[in-house]
C-alpha cells in the first residue's frame, strides 16, 4: 500500500475534485488554490519528481504537456495560464508525486 496521497487520489481512496482523467493522467483542483483556477495534473504512474524521470517516460511527459492547454481551456482559461513544476526541497515540492500546477483565471503576478 502506497503512502503517496496523489496515488490515493488516483485510486479514489482520498476524495478530489476531478477535472480530467484518462488512462495515463489525472487532473484535479488544488485543495489550497493560489489563483482562482488552480489545477494539478499528475501521471497515473508514480514518479517522485522531475529528478526521477527516466528516458522511458519521454512519451508520457510529452503526452502530459500536450494535454495541459486542453485541461486549462476546460477550466475556462482562454487567455493564458501559468504552469509550474516544483522539484525537490529547494524547489518547494511538498508532495512527492510529479505534478504540473496550472494556474490562472486572472492576470497573475510575474516572478520578478
Ligand atoms: P507542491 O508544493 O508543488 O508539491 O504542490 C503540492 C500541492 O498539492 C499544493 O498546492 C497543495 O495545496 C496540493 N494538495 C495537497 N494535498 C491535496 C489534496 N488532498 N487535494 C488537492 N490538492 C492537494
Ligand atoms: Zn504517487
Grid cell 483556477 is found at 37
Burial label for 94, CB within 10 Å (0-12, 13-18, 19+), is: exposed
In total, the chain counts a number of residues equal to 112
**Cβ < 5 A residues, ion ligand 2:** 4, 6-7, 46, 97
Q: What is the pLDDT of residue 1?
A: 53
Ligand nearest to the CA of 2: 2
pLDDT by position in tens, the chain (length 112): 579 999 999 999 999 999 999 999 999 999 999 999 999 999 999 999 999 999 999 999 999 999 999 999 999 999 999 999 999 999 999 999 999 999 999 878 887 6
pLDDT of residue 109: 82
Task: List, by residue number, the catalytic residues.
Answer: 99
Domains, the chain, ordered by start = 5-104 (3.30.428.10)
Spatial separation of the C-alpha atoms in residues 1 and 7, rounded to whole Å: 10
Which ligand 1 atom sits nearest the alpha carbon of residue 9? 19
Amino acid at each position: 500500500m502506497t503512502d503517496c496521497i496523489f496515488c490515493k487520489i488516483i485510486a479514489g481512496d482520498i476524495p478530489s475534485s476531478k477535472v480530467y482523467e484518462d488512462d495515463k493522467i489525472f487532473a484535479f483542483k488544488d485543495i489550497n488554490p493560489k489563483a482562482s483556477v488552480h489545477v494539478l495534473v499528475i501521471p497515473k504512474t508514480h514518479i517522485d519528481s522531475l529528478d526521477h524521470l527516466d528516458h522511458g517516460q519521454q512519451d508520457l511527459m510529452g503526452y502530459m504537456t500536450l494535454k495541459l492547454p486542453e485541461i486549462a481551456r476546460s477550466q475556462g482559461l482562454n487567455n493564458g495560464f501559468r504552469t509550474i513544476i516544483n522539484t525537490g526541497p529547494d524547489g518547494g515540492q511538498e508532495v512527492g508525486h510529479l505534478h504540473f500546477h496550472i494556474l490562472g483565471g486572472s492576470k497573475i503576478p510575474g516572478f520578478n
